[in-house]
Structure 1
């Protein structure tokens, strides 16, 4: 269901480039600067996508593993919606 919901949201985007994040995720300053530099430069190729490092915290404390995911992990979060979609697998 997660993939279907994400794909529906992506289909409603007003621009081709999508930054797709969960509500409990926060970008660090380095990632924000990277995205702003991309926006200011030449249009990236439509088949490009970027993984963003994600560090896990529980009750304010960093954790190294939340089975089966290790921290940090690197999900694709920035992509062109004409070239990428989420799969339909449940989470």
Structure 2
């Protein structure tokens, strides 16, 4: 909850400093969508069958299935506007 409050304060400060309402928020959403798309494509390239579960609020964003075994994987995706792809355990960052 505290993290969410801090994020709201950051967005509000960005809006005040830039003079453009919601700019930070819109840019962040765009980066998050692009990151999700990239992770989904990457998982397909690896041969997995990914499913976007981000709207379901289950604690992760992508649920790929390993076709050979039916094993589920759980990936939390973080898009923050930096270039590159980093993978740490079950977390993917772009």
The TM-score normalised by the length of structure 1 is 0.28
Higher helix share: 2
Question: Which has a greater percent of strand?
Answer: 1
User: What is the TM-score of this pair, normalised by structure 2?
Assistant: 0.27
The higher-RCO structure (CA 8 Å, 6+ apart) is 1
Highest Rg: 1 or 2?
2
